[in-house]
Amino acid sequence: MTDVTSSKSTRRPHHWRHDLIELAALFTAVVVADTIAKTIAKGPDGRYLLVFSAIALVATAAFHTWWARRHGHPSHAPPAGHPGGHSATGPSSDPADGSAEAPDATAGSGESAGTVLWRMRTTVADTPGSLAALCTALAGLRVDILTLQTHPLADGTVDEFLLRGPAGLSARTLARETAAAGGRDTWTERADAHDLVDTPTRVLELATRTALDAAELPLALRRLLGRCTLHSVPAVSLTGRSTGEPVPVEGVLEETVMRLRDPHGGTLVVERPYLPFTPTEFARARALVELDARLGPRVPHGRDVLTLPEGNEITVRRADRRDLPAARAMHDRCSPGTLDRRYHGPVGDADRYLDHLLSPRFGRTLAAQTASGRLVALGHLLWDGDETEVALLVEDDWQRRGVGAELLGRLVAMAEEAGCASVYAVTRASNTGMVAAMRALGLPLDYQIEEGTLVITARLAPKPSARPKREQRPEGARRAER
C-alpha cells in the first residue's frame, strides 16, 4: 500500500447546479456594477467617487493577501517525504564543492538513473549512538545505506558501507559530513553494480572457485580485499638460496601489508598502501589460504579436443606440477633456439624454471598433447603483481600449425575473465611467430624494444561474463579446425 493518493480519487464530484448558480451570480454582479457606475457618473462628483472606490478595492485586496500570508494558508507543495519533494535537511548547495543536489530525476519511477553508488569506510568510536549519528548524517544527505559491515578494532570500529546517493553528491561533501558525525580516517571510492553482492555470498563464491582450482587463490584474495597487490615469494630461489625467514602459521598483519604462509611453500605477500587491513579482513584471507591447504593440488578436469588442418587431433587441458616429467621430456625434444627464444637465458637452466611455471600459485598453465598423450606445447598465464604475463613454448615439430595461437587465445580469455586490464609477452625481436600470434588477437598492442628484447602489451576490455570458461568444458565438447 502507498500513502500517496491519486488525484482522481480525491477530486470532489462536480454538479451542473453549481455551474448554474455561479453563472447567475456573475450576471447579477455585472448588472449591479453597471447600475452603480451610471448613478455615480451622473452625480457632480461621480468621477472622484469612482477613483476613490477603485483605490479602496485595491487596498482591500492587498490587505487580504497580507493577512492570508501572515496566518499561513495550507501549502500546496508536496511534503518532504513525498516522492516529488526534497528534504529540507539536504547538503549545502554551494557550487564550489560540487555538492549541490540535482533534481531527483527518478522521483516516483523506481529507477536509479539519478543516483550513484559509493563505497565508504570510516572509523567511529565504539560507544552507543555513534553509528546512529553517522546514519543520521547520511540520511541528511539523502544517502541510502545498502549494506553495512563492521570491523571491530581495539580503539573503535571500522564501518564499511555500500551507499546509494544523489548524482550531485561529491566525495568531499560525503567525507565532510561523515567527519562532522564523528567518523575519522574516512575513505571513499565510486562503486559499481558488482559491489551489490552481499559479503557472505561473495565469500562463498570465492571459496567455491578456490576449491575447484588452486590457481584461483591469488585472484580470490584480490577480489576479497579490493584493489591490492599480491606477490608469491618462493621459499627457495631458482639458484637454490633461501628467500628469507618462513612466516608463522598464523600469518603476520602489519597495517597495509599481510603475510600468509603459502601451502605450496613460500609466502603470500598482500599489499594495499592506500587503506590498512583490518583484523576481520586478515581472518577472511587466512581462512581462504587454509581452505587451499586442506584441499591440496587440484586443477579443473575439463579438456577440449581440437582437429588441426592436416587432420591431427590435439587435446588442450590445464596443467600443474604433476606434469613436470612430461614437460622436461618436451624440453629435451626442443631445439636450443626454441628454448632460447622462450627463456632468454642459458638453455641448460630451462628445466629449473618449470617448477615455478607449473605452480598454480604463480598463474595458470595450459598444455597441448597428442592423441598418444605426448606433451607438445605449454602456455602460461602468470600473475606478476598488478600485471599479467603470457608465455608460450611449442615443440619444433608442432610450430606453424596453429597450436600456439590456440593456446594464446585461451590464455587471453582467462585474463579477461579474471578482470585483467592487459597482458604482456616478452620475447626476442626475431621471434616472428610470437609477434604474429599477438597480432592475430585483434587487440590494441604496444611495443617496447630494448637490446633485442621485445615486450608486446595487449590492452584488454575485461568482461567476466562475455566468454565461457573454455578450459572447463567436458572432453569432446568442442572441435575446431586450426
Confidence (pTM):
0.60
Q: Which three cell numbers stand for residue 132?
A: 546512529
> pLDDT value at position 407?
93
User: Helix axis angle, 336-343 relative to 350-357, nearest 10°?
Assistant: 50
Position of cell 595487449? 458
Backbone angles phi, psi at 251, to 5 degrees: 85, 175
| 425-435 per-position pLDDT tens digit | 999 888 888 99
Indicate if the pLDDT at residue 369 is higher than 90: yes
| 454-480 per-position pLDDT tens digit | 999 999 875 543 333 333 333 333 333
Question: What's the mean pLDDT in 34-60?
Answer: 68
> pLDDT value at position 50?
66
Model confidence at 31, pLDDT cuts 50, 70, 90, reads low
Least confident of 257-271, 286-300, 301-315, 467-481: 467-481
Q: Which three cell numbers stand for residue 158?
A: 571500522
User: Helix axis angle, 171-180 relative to 130-140, nearest 10°?
Assistant: 140
Indicate if the pLDDT at residue 452 is higher than 90: no
- Mean pLDDT value across the chain: 78
177 within 8 A of 91, measured Cβ to Cβ: yes
128 within 8 A of 258, measured Cβ to Cβ: no
Of 123, 146, 149, the C-alpha closest to 134 is: 123
| 195-214 per-position pLDDT tens digit | 888 888 888 999 998 898 88
Least confident of 409-413, 420-424, 451-455: 451-455
Of 195, 220, 201, the C-alpha closest to 383 is: 220
CA gap 148, 275 in Å, rounded: 18
